[in-house]
Amino acid sequence: MSDLTMKAPPVAEQLLPGSWGVKAAVTGIALILFMVNLDTSIVIVGLPVLIAQLHASFASAQWVVLSYMLLLTALIAGAGRLGDIFGKKKLYLAGIALFTVASLGCGIAPGTGTLIVCRGLQGVGAAFCLSLSFAIAGDMVPKARLGKTMGWLTMMVPLGIASGPTCGGILISTLGWQSMFLVNIPIGVVAYTLVRRHVPVVAKAARQRTDWTGMILLAGVLVCYCMGMTFMEDKGPLSQPVLLLLAGFAAGLVLFIRYEKKVPQPFLQLQLFRNSLLSASLLAAWLVYTVIMATVVLLPFYLVNEGHYTPLQTGLLMSFGPLVTAVLSVFAGKAADRFHARKVMLAGVLVMVAGCLAMSSLSTGQGIFGFLWRIGLIQLGLTFFQTPNNTAVMELAALEQRGLMSGLLSLARTTGHITGTAVLGAVFALLVKSGTITHAISVVFLVAAVLVAVAALLIYLVLRTQGRRNNA
């Protein structure tokens, strides 16, 4: 194992507060993860209402979503590293405060311009919240309990996303569109209080010069990638804006790598990726989250147009998968604690391969049960991949690098979501033009099975290499 990713000294046991303090701190972190992920999906439901009541164009309404995702994606890795340098708890609290205040700004915004700005500020706050949540848990909880804690926290991600459409529909219909932002305020206040009182302060990394240039370069690279993928959905993969943005991404990435190699104290030490365990975990995560967006974005089209289910029925059917993940995440964490985390991950991605292959044979004659067991199989595999993967990466991280590692995990998830929506969405749209939605779903999930199989191969190769080293 590279000396850059040696495991941290066992300081967590020394920092643990009383049993109530640990539970309160984890509850605060869980509330933040739930709130931020709820906000990702709740706004999509409210876009038609925003367009009508604010007299906004569809393009400006899209920027309500895009401004949040752009700043979140661009800043998430840098936010994690800043937490390592300046103190994770301090910046985590600042992120919670910014997200909560920006939510108030969104709720009282008089027009789309103000709303877009406040959504961008929410994205900045969310970057610190998401990038530091797992890092703070890793600092606070002993290794023997890390998997279980990661299970509880990982559960909040699908639970927040799944709750968004339902909560958004109820809030908008009863209290107006402003309430889908204002609901964050009490959650944010409670979470801030719990984190401030019960999360211990961990020693910061040795003081070093902050690599602001590297962070800005990476942010620019990620903005180009995010916008390129977003425009691909509307304009097609070969349109001029998409090609220019992806060319900017490629050129910027080369420039960023060359700069980070030369700077004395880079914010992202590229030597980290020589560790095959870390690189395989992050790449596998990116592939898995790319695939999972096919279930979230494309299957509703099948249910509505081919299955002829109502929007309410479709929403209920689509909520089954995230609920499977929410219920089983803690058990996946316990399995990671008891068994080798990467063996559990490998089992998870193999189950996902089976689920994607099964979904490729879906037809309307198989009814609700035929859909539910297939989506349940995919989500079961996801659950037993993502919780052990989060645990494995945080176990690899040295104390002074946990913020960065947590940020890289979140970056793999968000860029995977963006890539899956754009690329698999483009494949789906192309197939629908020349065939049926059922055929398009079949082909997309065959492609998804191949992508997840590549993730399984990566994990297997790492396990085999590690086994040979242990036997040497």
Residue 399's pLDDT is 67
223 and 176, same structural domain?
Answer: no
Same domain, 343 and 239: no
CATH for 350: 1.20.1250.20
Q: Give the pair of three-digit tokens for residue 103.
A: 């939510």
pLDDT reported for residue 18: 47
**286: three-class secondary structure by DSSP:** helix
Is the per-residue pLDDT at 2 higher than 70? no
* Same-domain check for residues 7 and 134: yes
Co-location of 295 and 348 in the same domain: yes
pLDDT of residue 11: 43
Q: Which comes out higher in pLDDT, residue 181 or 41?
A: 181
- 102 has a pLDDT exceeding 50: yes
> What is the distance between the alpha carbons of residues 95 and 400, in angstroms, rounded to a whole number?
20
Span 329-348, pLDDT tens digits:
878 878 877 777 788 889 99
In terms of residue numbers, what domain contains 240? 211-266
Same domain, 107 and 253: no
Same domain, 257 and 300: no
Q: Tell me the C-alpha distance between 401 and 379, whole Å.
A: 30
**From residue 63, how far is each of 67, 113, 120, 422 by CA, in Å?**
5, 10, 9, 16
Per-residue pLDDT tens digits for 31-78: 999 998 888 777 776 777 777 888 877 667 778 878 888 898 888 888
Note the pLDDT tens digit of each residue in 391-419.
778 777 676 777 888 888 888 888 888 88
3-state secondary structure of 401: helix
Please state the length of the chain: 472
Q: Are 52 and 103 in contact (CB under 8 A)?
A: no
- Together in a domain, 55 and 107: yes
Q: Does one domain contain both 13 and 111?
A: yes
Report CA-CA distances (Å) from 465 to 7, 277, 457, 471.
19, 10, 12, 10
The DSSP line for 308-345 is ---HHHHHHHHHHHHHHHHHHHHHHHHHHHHS-HHHHH
4 or 350, greater pLDDT: 350
In terms of C-beta density within 10 A (0-12 exposed, 13-18 middle, 19 or more buried), how is residue 10 classed? exposed
Residue 94: predicted pLDDT: 95
Same domain, 462 and 434: yes
**Residues 281 and 240 occupy one common structural domain:** no
Q: How far is CA 416 from CA 52, 293, 419, 429, in A?
A: 32, 8, 5, 19
Q: What is the structure's pLDDT at 16?
A: 46
Tell me how many domains the chain contains. Answer: 2
Please name the residue that has the structure tokens 């961008």.
Answer: 120
Domain boundary among 266, 282, 308: 266
Residue 118 sits in the same domain as residue 233:
no
Rounded to the nearest integer, the mean pLDDT of the chain is 83
**Which pLDDT score is estimated for 471?**
56
| CB 122, CB 128: distance < 8 Å | no
Going by C-beta distance under 8 Å and a sequence separation of 6 or more, which residues neighbour residue 123? 67, 68, 69, 70, 71, 72, 75
Are 216 and 192 part of one and the same domain?
Answer: no
pLDDT category of residue 160 using cuts at 50, 70 and 90: confident
Half-sphere exposure of 63 (CA within 13 A, CB side): 13
Contacts of 441 (CB under 8 A, 6+ apart): 298, 299, 302, 359, 360, 362, 428
pTM > 0.85: no
Q: Identify the residue with better confidence: 290 or 327.
A: 290
Backbone angles phi, psi at 88, to 5 degrees: -65, -45
Q: CA-to-CA distance for 451 and 253, rounded, in angstroms?
A: 23
Q: Which of 251, 266, 281 is the last residue of a domain?
A: 266
pLDDT tens, 302-334? 888 888 887 677 777 887 888 888 788 878 878
Contacts of 379 (CB under 8 A, 6+ apart): 158, 295, 320, 321, 322, 324, 325, 355
